[in-house]
């Protein structure tokens, strides 16, 4: 079955109303319902939430030296905040799941197929 990565993007300093405690609880509730559903249906493979982009470090080679720099690889307002790796029948099934996640947490989700998986 094809695998997809649903990457959750967080936009820095996005002008949004801060969530009330009640809204935050509701959002968590919705998200855990979706995640349970993912696991029960066998679509869930792996998921993770990342710390803020300013905790990132980039390692690269310059000549023979290894250079380590503080901060994310691209300086942008939009960073990967977390991801789900799922298996789904087709793009529609993956998009339907992404729609549920975005409805719960209100951030854009990028859906992208894996080039190949060990199961294929």
Partner 1 sequence: MIEESRDAIGRIFRQEYGRSLAMLIGLFGDIDVAEDAVQEAYALALDKWPTDGLPPNPGGWITTTARNRAIDRLRRRTRERYLLGEAALLAGDGPPQEGGDMSDDRLKLIFTCCHPALAAETQVALTLRLLGGLSTEQVARSFLVAEPAMAQRLVRAKRKIKAARIPYRTPAVHELPDRLPPVLAVIYLIYTTGHSGPEEPGLCGEAIRLARLLAALMPDEPEVSGLLALLLLIESRRAARTRPDGSLAVLGEQDRDRWDRGLIEEGHAIVRRCLARDRPGPYQLQAAINAVHADAAAAADTDWSQIVALYDHLYALTPTPVVALNRAIAIGEAHGPATALALIDRLEAELGQYYPFHAARADLLRRLNRYSEAAAAYQRAAALAPPGAERDFLHHGGRTPRP
Residues within the interface to partner 1 (CB under 8 A): 2, 4, 89-92, 95, 111-113, 115
Q: Which is nearer to partner 1, 53 or 86 (CB)?
A: 86
Q: Which is nearer to partner 1, 21 or 92 (CB)?
A: 92
Q: Which is nearer to partner 1, 3 or 79 (CB)?
A: 3
Structure tokens at 22: 């009640």
- Within 8 A by CB and 6+ apart from 48, the residues are 82, 83
Report the nearest approach of partner 1 to the CB of residue 6 (Å).
13
Report the nearest approach of partner 1 to the CB of residue 4 (Å).
8
The C-alpha angle 54, 104, 82, rounded to 5 degrees, equals 30
Report the nearest approach of partner 1 to the CB of residue 27 (Å).
24
Round to whole Å and give the CA distance between 47 and 2. 16
- Within 8 A by CB and 6+ apart from 53, the residues are 12, 71, 72, 79, 80
Report the nearest approach of partner 1 to the CB of residue 20 (Å).
31
């Amino acid at each position: 079955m094809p695998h997809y990565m649903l990457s959750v993007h967080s936009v820095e300093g996005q002008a949004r109303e801060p969530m009330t405690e009640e809204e935050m609880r509701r959002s968590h509730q919705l998200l855990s319902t979706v995640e349970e559903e993912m696991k029960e249906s066998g679509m869930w493979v792996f998921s993770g939430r990342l710390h803020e982009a300013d905790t990132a470090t980039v390692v690269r080679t310059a000549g023979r030296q290894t250079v380590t720099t503080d901060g994310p690889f691209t300086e942008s307002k939009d960073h990967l905040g977390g991801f789900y790796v799922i298996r789904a029948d087709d793009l529609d099934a993956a998009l339907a799941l992404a729609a549920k996640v975005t409805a719960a947490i209100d951030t854009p989700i990028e859906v992208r197929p894996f080039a190949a998986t060990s199961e294929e």
